[in-house]
Structures are given as structure tokens and as C-alpha cells.
Chain A
Amino acid sequence: MRTKLWRAVAAFGLLAAGCGSGDSSAGQDDTSTPESVAQVVEVTTTQAGGERSSTTLGERGEPAGTVVYGWHTALTPAWLDPQESGNVITAYGFNYAIHDSMIKHFPGDQLAPSLAESYEIADDFMSASFTIREGAKFHNGEPVTADDVEFTYMNYHGTQAQLFHDRLDRIEKTDQRHITFYFKEPFVDFLILYGTPATGIGWIVPKAYYEQVGPDGYKQAPVGAGPYRLVRNTSNTELELEAMPDYWRGSPKVKTIIYKIITDDATRFAALQTGEIDFMNVVQGQLLQAAENDDRIRLTQRSTTAFWLEFPGWENPDSPFHDVRVRQAVSLALNRREISDAETGGFAKIDTGNWGAPDLIGALQPDEIKPEWYEYNLEKAKQLMADAGYPDGFEVPQLTPLAPYYALGERVITQLAQIGIKTSLNRIERAAFVEALTKGPDALPGMILNISGLNGDMAARWRAFATCEGPSSRTCIPELDAKFAQYEASTDPEERDALMAEIQTEFNDQYVFPYVYTLGLTMATGPRIANNPDDIWFSIPQFPYVFPWEDVELKP
């Protein structure tokens, strides 16, 4: 059944309207993670008009002990400042501990009020009102106020900032706990963009402190309103976080969290084996077998988001990728089964076919996926190359994968060599990759092996990566842009639904972003952690890291 994007958003709106009275917040009664919009709709519709779950976690005692988290990418300080959020979920691996958002997902409770005590989206989508949680504080002891929320919105210059600024008509504050955003036109996507890490605009920073230290100073010593505060940053290679016992949701159970940046996979895994780290991001390749053989290590696997290939500058008639037959040949040359076996022990899905995974709100569902989008047929690929005038293939300057998926990049390169496309791997760190994506088609020439864990919905992802003016887009198809403009302007659920499906189908038929495979992520938990790993990894949609931090617990 097709994903009902608009219904989901509308349901959130209803939900918000319904919880306008009384204290509402994240609940723990339902820890299941909806994996489709249908489920999200079901959850939220059930709750709409009724009471939300319990307010806080209650008395929890003094936080104690230290947990060490082995992080897999280099850290850039910009990731500690939600005001500069890029199109990357990685930063939220830190933000969910240090910062807090007006609205956010909790396990089993989508788009729940967090720093907001309640919120309401107008029926006509022309305004959004928030009541700030009483007693919510930043790490420096200052209360979270309407001034901070306004400043955060107005000063935000991260991804999709222009959209928010263009749509805003005015902000009204009745007092320091009540704020309303008024829009120039119906802003149907506001909630999904404001309330998920699709953007960082809902992640509140303290106005006075931010202005005092400036953007660069803030990145060195961020002050947030999350369950942990940053107390030490050793050369951006190790972060020490200390629990905030008066966090609104309840005191964290662990006193200290250390994020240890260990980019070498084997070293990170060795550190897990020796007990130096308790959580490990990304167990991949040959380490998977070793991890499975170690009974002290608990693995959590989840099929998440999809990898896709991009051909920057493909619109140029001089580009060999201008010919749709070449792009289709690339797709046909990918032996996805072989890739999945090598990279994830066969765990990763190879047939979701679309660059937006089906659990992303608004993405095509399995019954809408055409088998040819993920078909492997080397002979047909070679024939298409010959038909396009490239029987011997051609050279491409480079293929750049998102870090740390270099091994996957090498496999793709090897497979494309079979149809004569010769290229080499360009190895850059994640932050540089994300930044380069924003600089147009020339920043990363050749091919890009991309993936996004960007939260929100398919429209958010489309807006960011595939529209002519998208902040991370290197592609432009005016006809599809026109359809997307129609989508944005529409408040008719059926029309929006149909348009989003049409856009994706037409895009995939042109093989602009050929699907590679669906990432099967494996995360590991060490023996000292008391929680069931499934409760803290992938606990909310499209977020692969540990959350909620305040629930993490050490064994006695």
C-alpha cells in the first residue's frame, strides 16, 4: 500500500492540536519503532485527541559510571552546533546527547514534544504554536525561553534555512513560554522539517551565550539543553560529556559518556573486544565474522537507508552519463547480491530499488518498485553501453564514496570496470564530503557513491538532493522541479501523495540516481551495558546511533 505522506503529516497536526492542553512528552509505553508511514499514522492517529504519555521518567537516582562510545568518523566542531546542520545525520549522534529539540522522535512516540511542552499546528498550516516546557534549562542554568526559540529560528543557517526564512511571515511571543510562527503560505511540511533532524532549526541554542561567544566559540564550547553537557574536547578526538541530573525527562543513569573517535575499523573493534569501549558504530566487512564469534559482544543489525550513485554534470550533453542507456548500464552492472554478501554477510537488502528506503515517509513502497531498477544483467549492460556508443567504455576521473564506505566504493569500481567504466577511488572524510555536496557538480566530479540518513520524509530528501536549487543537489530536471513545486503548494493529500510517487518513478526510470543497495548497518554493544541493545540502537526512525542517552544504563 502506498505511503500516505500527507496523512501522516496531517495526523501529526491533529495530534499536536489534540495535545494542546496538559503536560505531554515522550512516553516509554511503546518502544516499537514504526518502520512505515502507515504505522506512524496509526500510532499518531490513535493518540490524536487523547492524552499523551507520561511526562518524565520519574525519580532515577544519582548518575554513576562511565560509558565509552567508539565513533567511526572524524569529528568536525561544526557538528556540535545545530545552527549549521548539514544534510547529514552524523551530527545528531552528538546532538541527541548535548542538545535538545522542541519536538523530536522518542521510541514509540513520533514527533513528541520535548523542549516544547505542547504544540499546535493550525488546520490551514499557516501557523505553528509552541508552549515551552516549564523548568527546561540550558547547561549553564539559564531557562529555555521564547527568545531562544526565536533566535534559533532566525539565526539558523544550516540546511534548508532558506526555505524556513522564505516561508516565515512573523513570529509572535506572548511571553517567554509561548511562541507562534506565522507563515506566508500553508507550510504543510513544517512539522516534519522542524521536528526531525531533517534540519537543525528546532534544536534550541541559548541566544545570550551564542551571541556572547560567537559561532566559532560556540562550536568549541557548546551549551545545549540536552541530557549531557560537554566538559572536555581533546583535540576533537575525544569528547567527555557529563550528565545533567535536572534534565527535564529525568536524570541520566550514566554519569559520564566519552565519545572516542577511532576511525580505523579494526582498532575500534579491538577496543570493543578489550572493553575499552562499550558501544561501537559500524561493524563491517571481515570484522562481522569475528564479532559474531565473540559471545561478549551483542550485535544490532538494521536495514536502514539506501546507497545510490550520482553522476554530477550528467545533464551536459558532453558527459557520457548524459545518455540514459549508460546510466541504466551502470545500474545493470551492479551485482548487488555480491556486494551485500561481502559487506554485510548478505544481511543488507538488495531489492528496495529506490534511493529513498521504504520506511522513509513518502518513499515508494515495495509494490511500486520496478524490478529493473535493481536488476543485475551484465550482458544487457554491455549491450546498452555499445548501443550508446561506448563498446569499450570510458574513463571517469574518480568515484567518491561517503566515509567510511571506501570498501564498498572499491567494489562498485570493480564491477563497473566489467562494462569498461574505469575510475579510481577518491577518499575524503565525511564532513568534507557533505560540504562538497553543497558546492555544485564540479566539487566532486566523476561519480559519487552517496547515502543519506537525513531524517524527515522523502520530500525533504528530494528537496535537499534532487531539486535544481537543493542545498546538496547536483542535478536539475526542470519538469520534476515543476511537479515538486506543485507538491509544495498543494494541501490536498491525494494530490501530494500522487505527485511524490510520480516524481520518484520518473526519476528512477531515468536512472539519475541508480540504486546500489540498502545499507545493512551493524552496531555493537559491549558486555557492561545493561540495556537490551535493540532498545537503544535504531530506536527511532532513520537514526542509527545510540538514543535515548538518558536511558543508557551500566550493569551493577
Chain B
Amino acid sequence: MIAFVLRRVGASVVTLLLLSVTIFLLVRATGDPARVYAGAEASEEEVAAVRADFGLDKPLLSQYATFVTDTVRGDLGHSIQFRQPVFEVYMDRLPRSLVLATVAFGLSLLIGIPAGVLSAVRPGRLSAGVFRAVALTGVSVPNFVIATTLILVFAVKLRWLPTSGSGSIKQLVMPSIALGWYFAAAMMRLTQSSMLEVMRGEYVKLARLKGVPEWIVIGKHALKNALIPVLTLAGVNFVVMVNVAVVIEQIFAWPGIGDLVYQGITLRDFPLIQGVVLMAGFMVVAVNLIVDVVYAVLDPRIRLDR
């Protein structure tokens, strides 16, 4: 088990290094960062001073080494537009995105997993059809349409909920529905196919032959194994919800990471985009690492399969 975890950690470090090289080179390929940092009215001398300050006059390899050590220390650079360290800007937004993503994630599981299970084990039932329809609506209708419709119905017509903003539970309701609904369909489809595969397993047939009640066969024997691939998707989905809920956060004026990404792109704030991409990449790698370890705990064949 220890060897497995170490192998996975090693692979994660390599992935992060590759990510850092890609980001490092892409940022430099888009123009001279010193000129961007120096600002609109900067003279050539001022740009040169910034270049020296940030070590941008050093060889590329040396710059990369500094970039990596700074990143490891949590220094992601300085936002051009926000005039603050990128890490501070990111951490300021992160709690709100975590709250939104957690609720939306829970919702996607609540809809997606039952829909997937029902579609697999009771495909003809009305309940399965309803769940499936709900889940598929989330992925078929663009989320900006869902978001706008929610605002129109629950804020403008019924006056039950505020249109936008953050800070109260009421303000959380519509963005989390709009965000979670979209991911529910993907969860449903994966749960369904995974369940169908598992239900064909010998151990399921054996359990049935032994006369184990069907709900125990499904709930205890089949679902537990079927959820393993779902877990991977769920982890990645959560990271996506935290970092890339751009449209939803824009429409609901939710000051999270998605809104920050949008601002970073539309404000051409390269250090900010670089920082957010790095943090998102780190999260994906971390979540995958955790999921791999959990896999190995749940299914010993995985850690032995090397």
C-alpha cells in the first residue's frame, strides 16, 4: 500500500511539473510580462526596471526555477488589475466557491445517483423516467437558460429568492440548482452504466441465488462497487464546480473563482489566469490522488495491479 501511494504521489508531482512548464511557457508566449506589469504609461526604463525586479532578464531556466520555488511557497505572482498577490485574490474568492460547489455537488449526487441506479435496475418504471428526464434536462438545456429561468420565476415572479449576490442561504439556492443540475446528468449516466455492468457480475447473481433481498443486492453489493468510477468523476466535477462555474457565477453575480476566471480573461490579467489555472490543476491532481488512494482501499486489486 505504501509503495502504491508513493507511486501515485510521484506521478502527481510529475503531472504538476508538466502543468507548471506549460503555464510558464504559455504566459511568456503571449507577450512580455514586464510590459504588462509595468502598466500603460510606463517608459522603456520603467519596463526594464520591472523586468529586473521580477527576474525576467535572467535565462529562461533560471526564471522557471524561481517560478517553481515561488509557487511552492504560495507566491503565485501579483494581479495586474486587482493590485494584490494572486494567492490572496484567489483565497478571498475560494470560500464562496467552495460553498456553492459543495451544495451544487450534493445536489448533483442527489439527482444523479438515484437516477442512474433506477435507470439501471428499473428501466421501465415511471420513477426512473422522471429521474432520468430531470437529470437529462440539466445537461440538455444550457445552464444560462436554466439560470435565467430560475431568476424569472423565483425572483421576479414569485419574489421568493433574491436575484443575485452572496452571503445568505437564499442567495445560494438558485446558483447551486443551476450549477448542480448540469452535473447531475453526467453522474446519472455513469452510475447507470456502471450499475448495469456490476449487476451482470457473478457475485450479484450468487447473492440473488442465495435469496438475498433485492434492495440489499442493489444497495449493498452492487452500488458499492458501481460507485468506484463515479467517485472519480465526482472528484473532478467538484474541482470544476469550484474553479470553472463561470457562467453561473456571472449570471448570479456570485463572487467566486468562476467569476474571477472570467475577469482574469476579460481583463487580460495574465498572472491571475496563471494562478487560477495552477490552483485548479493542483486541485485536480490532489483530488485524483485522494480518489486513487480511496480506490486502493476499497478494491485491493487496484493496488496489486502493477
The chain A residues found within 8 Å of chain B, CB to CB, are: 74, 76-78, 84, 86, 157-158, 161-162, 215-216, 219-220, 234-238, 260-264, 266-267, 270-271, 273-274, 276, 403, 427-429, 431-432, 435-436, 438-439, 471
- Establish whether residues A431 and B252, one from each chain, have CB atoms under 8 Å apart when the complex forms: no
In this assembly, does B259 line the interface, its C-beta being within 8 Å of a C-beta of chain A? Answer: yes
Are B267 and A429 in touch, CB under 8 angstroms?
Answer: yes
Interface residues of B (CB under 8 A from A): 35, 39-41, 81-84, 89, 92-93, 96, 148, 151-152, 155-156, 159, 162-165, 250-253, 255, 259, 263, 266-269
- Counted as pairs of residues, one from A and one from B, with CB atoms less than 8 Å apart, the total is 101
Bound Cα distance A428, B82 (Å): 16
B residues within 8 A CB of A161?
41
Q: Is the CB of B41 within 8 A of A157?
A: yes
Determine which of A77, A216, A261, A403 lies in contact with B253 in the assembled complex, contact meaning CB atoms within 8 Å: A261
Contacts of A427 in B (CB 8 A): 266
Specify which of A86, A238, A431, A471 is in contact with B267 (CB 8 Å cutoff).
Answer: A431
Q: Which B residues are CB-close (under 8 A) to A429?
A: 263, 266-267
A428:B151 contact, CB within 8 angstroms = no
Which B residues lie within 8 Å of A220 (CB)?
A: 83-84
Question: Which of A215, A236, A403 contacts B82 (CB under 8 A)?
Answer: A236
Interface contact B83-A428, CB-CB below 8 Å: no
Please give the distance in Å from B92's CB to the nearest CB on chain A: 5
Does A266 contact B40, Cβ atoms closer than 8 Å?
no
Q: Which residues of B contact A436 (CB under 8 A)?
A: 268
**With A and B bound together, what is the CA distance between A402 and B151 in angstroms?**
27
Establish whether residues A471 and B81, one from each chain, have CB atoms under 8 Å apart when the complex forms: no
CA distance A427 to B266 in the complex (A): 7
Residue from the list B89, B253, B269 in contact with A264, Cβ < 8 A:
B253
Q: Are B40 and A435 in contact (CB under 8 A)?
A: yes
B268 touches A260 (CB 8 A): no
Q: Would you call A235 and B93 a contact (CB within 8 A)?
A: yes
Kindly list chain B residues whose C-beta atoms are within 8 Å of the C-beta of A403: 266
Asked whether A439 and B165 contact (CB < 8 A) given A74-B267, A236-B82, A428-B268, the answer is: no
By the criterion CB–CB under 8 Å, are B267 and A428 in contact?
yes
**Nearest Cβ distance between residue A71 and chain B, in whole angstroms?**
10
Query: Are A274 and B266 touching (Cβ within 8 A)?
Result: no
**Additional A-B contact list (10), CB under 8 Å, known A270-B164, A271-B162, A439-B35:** A84-B39, A220-B84, A235-B92, A266-B151, A267-B251, A267-B252, A270-B152, A273-B156, A276-B162, A276-B165
Contact across chains for B40 and A86 when beta carbons are under 8 A apart: yes
State whether A234 touches B152 (Cβ < 8 A). Answer: no
A398 to chain B, nearest CB (A): 14
The residues of A that contact B148 with a CB separation of less than 8 Å are 266-267
Q: Choose among B152, B163, B259 the residue that contacts A276 (Cβ–Cβ < 8 A).
A: B163
- B156, A270: Cβ atoms closer than 8 Å: yes
Smallest CB-CB separation from A162: which chain B residue?
B41
Minimum distance in angstroms from B72 CB to a CB of chain A: 24
- Cα distance A273–B156 when bound, in Å? 7
Given that A77-B82, A157-B41, A273-B156 are known contacts, is A237 also in contact with B253, CB under 8 Å in the complex? yes
Determine how close the nearest CB of chain B comes to the CB of A17; give it in whole angstroms.
33
Asked if A432 and B82 make an inter-chain contact with CB atoms under 8 angstroms apart, the answer reads: no
Chain B residue numbers with a CB within 8 Å of A266 are 148, 151, 251
How far, in angstroms, from A436 to B159 measured CA to CA in the complex?
42
Complex CA distance for A421 and B27, rounded to whole angstroms: 31
**A435/B268 in contact, CB under 8 A:** yes
B156 touches A76 (CB 8 A): no
Which of B96, B155, B250 is close to A274, meaning CB atoms less than 8 Å apart? Answer: B155
* Residue contact A238 to B255, C-beta cutoff 8 Å: yes
Query: Of A234, A235, A267, A274, which one neighbours B159 at CB under 8 angstroms?
Result: A274
- A163 to B92 Cα, complex, angstroms: 39
| Bound form: Cα–Cα A162–B251 in Å | 41
Closest 7 CB pairs of A and B: A429-B266, A438-B40, A237-B255, A216-B83, A432-B268, A235-B255, A432-B267
* Least Cβ–Cβ distance between B294 and chain A, in angstroms: 33
A287 to chain B, nearest CB (A): 12
> Which residues of the other chain, A, contact B82 by a CB distance below 8 angstroms?
76-77, 236
Name the contact of A271 in the complex, choosing from B39, B83, B164 (C-beta under 8 A).
Answer: B164
Query: Within the complex, what minimum Cβ distance (angstroms) separates B293 from chain A?
Result: 34
Q: Which residues of A contact B41 (CB under 8 A)?
A: 157-158, 161-162, 438, 471
For residue B84, which residues in chain A have a CB less than 8 angstroms away from its CB? 77, 216, 220
Q: Which residues of A contact B35 (CB under 8 A)?
A: 439
Q: How far is the CA of A238 from the CA of B96 in the complex (A)?
A: 14
Bound-state Cα–Cα, A158 to B266, Å:
22
Contacts A264-B250, A471-B41; A74 near B163 (Cβ below 8 A): no
